[in-house]
Structure 1
Amino acid sequence: MKKILIVEDDRAIAELERDYLEASNFTVVIAYDGKCGLKRAVEDTYDLLLLDIMLPGIDGFQICREVRKVKNTPILMVSAKHEDIDKIRGLGLGADDYVIKPFSPSELVARVKAHIARYERLTGMDGKEQKKILQSGDLEIQLETHRVFLAEQEITLPHREFELLSFLAENPGIVFSKEKLFERVWGLDAAGDTATVMVHVNRIRDKIEQNPSKPIYIETVWGAGYRFRK
């Protein structure tokens, strides 16, 4: 049974999330403050973290930052804030998705299932073998082991960045719009979420490009989207 950590100080919301997740056969643990949430997230093992942003003690941004130093567990951030800057900041820290309150509990459950399923596919935990290695210049992407090497030096990518890079690399020379990339990689409605793709592309470039402002692997096609160089 998959195990979810909810870090949420609003007990009514936390219990609503728990009830819907448990009804879908998830095991749920709740932390009602940031300090307890961070401790549980780092010390225990979960299949996904559901983080509120505004928390007493330590906020969701800081928890996300600290977790990403040691784990690639899928992270969904939940907030009443509608500002794009908060969404971009969360994604920039390594969150995989951002859900705005009020939200549909059934949609939240669907997002949780989708992120866990994709993470398991990427890490080989779904029982399906992947033996393909993608190579482009000094860049090597090992699909089976979920590892990336640049000039024989390993580059650490959270699973969503890895999936985006892998998808582009498996389709070299093809231009994908931000909307199409969100649909193919995140598997959810792309409306209004092009910033998610942009943030992840920029994070990948910072790690694999010698000069991120003049990328050679992931190219921007102005007015159209992105493509992986053949």
Structure 2
Amino acid sequence: MTLANILVVDDETEIIDIIELYLNKAGYQVFRATTGEMAVNLAVDKQPDLIVLDIVLPDISGFQVTAKLADLGLNDIPVIFLSCRNEEETIVQGLHLGDDYVTKPFSPSELTARVEARLRRKQATASSSAAGNQQQLCFADLVIDLPAHSVRIRNTEVPLSTTEFKLLCLLVQNRHRVFSSEQLYELVWHTQGLDDVRTVMVHISNLRRKLEIFPDSKEYILTVRGAGYRFNHALSGS
């Protein structure tokens, strides 16, 4: 069995040492980077399965690293931000650019669990797409191509992160069900945490903004007051 490769990026080598110790015990191979440019070069060279990325780095920020990776076509690599910055706007930006956000000081065991959960989700998404008989899901102007991992509205490509795509597919494929924030977090992130409600709210907000790209766009994701979220199944006629 091939080990998953994790790129850990932090300017403090002691933190990398701790993370590497826990990830190695969990069976992962770790690549190390202490600067943003080193992280970009390693990502290109090693093609890691996931990146644990600090935001405050000596040369460029972690956010700039994700932008460079996107320019290089590597925006499908899951990113877990790990940072001492706990301002709401920074966390929101991190959740928009990456797949998860962990603040320092942190629990190495919890971080390892989040890495494992994110990799399980990545594998499950790939497996379900490969095994699924239904290649496309179509609702009004929305077309979800499962094998291609793409979303289009009126033939316009909608760029979604891996997490946003997973969240949308979960809602669409269970369109008659209402999910609470806690349920969505557990099903999509495969873990539980103190920031689950805020994390889900941010991703739902980002998803709505990306889907409602036209002035007369449909409302695809509905909020059910006091209960959670569901897909607007009226668009499918079922």
Give TM-score, length-normalised by structure 1: 0.89
Identity across the alignment (%): 39
Could you tell me how far 1:199 is from its partner in structure 2?
1.8
- 1:84-163 equivalences under 5 Å are 84-93=88-97, 95-124=98-127, 129-132=131-134, 133-163=136-166
**Partner Cα separation in structure 1 for residue 133 and residue 207 of structure 2:** 23
Name the structure 2 match of 1:75. 79
Could you tell me how far 1:63 is from its partner in structure 2?
1.2
Contact 2:219/2:232 (8 A) holds in 1: yes
AA aligned to 1:67 is L
Could you tell me how far 1:42 is from its partner in structure 2?
4.0
Contact 1:76/1:96 (8 A) holds in 2: yes
Tell me, what secondary structure is at the counterpart of 1:145?
A: coil
**Partner Cα separation in structure 2 for residue 196 and residue 65 of structure 1:** 21
Tell me, what secondary structure is at the counterpart of 2:8?
A: strand
Q: Structure 1's 67 and 213: CA in aligned 2 closer, same or farther, altered over 3 A?
A: farther
Confirm whether residue 194 of structure 1 aligns to residue 181 of structure 2. Answer: no
Could you tell me how far 1:157 is from its partner in structure 2?
1.6
Confirm whether residue 37 of structure 1 aligns to residue 9 of structure 2. Answer: no
- Which runs of no fewer than 5 residues in structure 1 stay unpaired? none
**Partner Cα separation in structure 2 for residue 43 and residue 136 of structure 1:** 40
Tell me, what secondary structure is at the counterpart of 1:99?
A: strand
Could you tell me how far 1:101 is from its partner in structure 2?
1.8
- Which runs of no fewer than 5 residues in structure 2 stay unpaired? 234-238
Contact 2:129/2:147 (8 A) holds in 1: no
Contact 1:77/1:90 (8 A) holds in 2: yes
1:79-98 Cα deviation digits (max 9, x unpaired): 122222221110122x1111
Name the structure 2 match of 1:53. 55
Q: Structure 1's 127 and 156: CA in aligned 2 closer, same or farther, altered over 3 A?
A: closer
Could you tell me how far 1:67 is from its partner in structure 2?
2.3
Q: Structure 1's 190 and 18: CA in aligned 2 closer, same or farther, altered over 3 A?
A: closer
**Partner Cα separation in structure 2 for residue 12 and residue 203 of structure 1:** 35
**Partner Cα separation in structure 1 for residue 132 and residue 206 of structure 2:** 25
**Partner Cα separation in structure 2 for residue 198 and residue 215 of structure 1:** 19
Tell me, what secondary structure is at the counterpart of 1:78?
A: strand
Could you tell me how far 1:211 is from its partner in structure 2?
4.8
Could you tell me how far 1:175 is from its partner in structure 2?
2.3
Contact 2:79/2:99 (8 A) holds in 1: yes
The number of residues matched between the two structures is 228
**Partner Cα separation in structure 2 for residue 127 and residue 135 of structure 1:** 16
Decide which moves more: 205-214 or 45-54: 205-214
Give TM-score, length-normalised by structure 2: 0.86
Contact 2:150/2:157 (8 A) holds in 1: yes
Contact 2:129/2:146 (8 A) holds in 1: no
Contact 1:134/1:142 (8 A) holds in 2: yes
**Cα RMSD, aligned residues only:** 2.3
Contact 1:122/1:159 (8 A) holds in 2: no
Name the structure 1 match of 2:8. 6
Name the structure 2 match of 1:183. 186
Decide which moves more: 16-25 or 149-158: 149-158
